[in-house]
């Protein structure tokens, strides 16, 4: 694994929520993190067929544009009864038809409408998982990948106003509160000093693998 020196990264994301979470996770390691949004860089077209492909598209574009090591995150909600949808199209399900941005309340309703259309009303018919793939990429195109998943159940109506995206309808296995009802600290439940602690959220689990491999 290549070293990351100096301790600077560019986050290849325009998602403000992801930037907050990544900065919180990286804080113990003393990294200076900026984002492509803060630098005014455009979003590349994500036309990959997997989380890994889309993560690489974002990371390599940021690394080449800034001549810095870039970290990207491609993540989504995969619902078993919907054959894995929305999956890599998770953000697309939230796009307003008039091009005015993303509405995740609408997106959560889309998921619920699709589940109801499939007759998925009991908890065992409403299983799914969040997936996050982190891609660490150097300006020469070399990349490393770290994947994390958080499994649970889709609930309705949404609960909680914390987190972002589909968090209010996702009840992680073994818990009685949705991601939307948890603080960011509880949602991550990970620290570099905890024994056998890979975190609760999909992003924290991917980050734990990244930290072990790259941050030491």
Report the distance separating Cα 76 and Cα 62, nearest Å.
21
Token pair for 63:
């690394």
Token pair for 199:
């975190």
Nearest by Cα to 66 from 133, 137, 143, 144: 137
74 given a catalytic annotation: yes
Across the chain, the runs of DSSP E, i.e. the strands, are 8-11, 32-35, 70-79, 127-137, 143-154, 170-172
Catalytic residue among 73, 74, 85, 167: 74
- For strands 70-79 and 8-11, give the pairing: parallel
Contact 158, 168 (CB under 8 A): yes
Helix-then-strand count for the chain, H and E: 5, 6
Report the distance separating Cα 108 and Cα 116, nearest Å.
12
Report the distance separating Cα 139 and Cα 210, nearest Å.
18
Residue numbers annotated as active site: 74
């Amino acid at each position: 694994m290549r070293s990351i020196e100096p301790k600077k990264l560019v986050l290849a994301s325009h998602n403000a929520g992801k930037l907050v979470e990544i900065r919180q996770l990286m804080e113990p390691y003393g990294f200076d993190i900026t984002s492509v949004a803060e630098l005014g860089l455009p979003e590349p077209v994500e036309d990959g067929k997997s989380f890994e492909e889309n993560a690489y598209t974002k990371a390599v574009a940021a690394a080449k544009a800034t001549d810095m090591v870039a970290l990207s995150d491609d993540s989504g909600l995969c619902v078993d009864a919907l054959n894995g949808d929305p999956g890599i199209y998770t953000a697309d399900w939230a796009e307003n038809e008039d091009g005015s941005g993303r509405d995740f309340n609408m997106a959560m309703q889309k998921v619920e409408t699709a589940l109801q259309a499939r007759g998925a009303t009991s908890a065992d018919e409403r299983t799914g998982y969040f997936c996050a793939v982190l891609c660490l990429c150097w300006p020469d195109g070399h990349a490393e990948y770290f994947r994390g998943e958080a499994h649970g159940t889709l609930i309705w109506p949404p609960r909680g106003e914390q987190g972002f995206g589909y968090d209010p309808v996702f009840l992680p296995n073994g818990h009685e509160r949705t991601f939307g009802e948890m603080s960011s600290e509880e949602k991550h439940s990970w620290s570099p000093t905890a024994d056998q602690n890979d975190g609760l959220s999909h992003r924290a689990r991917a980050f734990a693998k990244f930290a072990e491999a790259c941050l030491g």
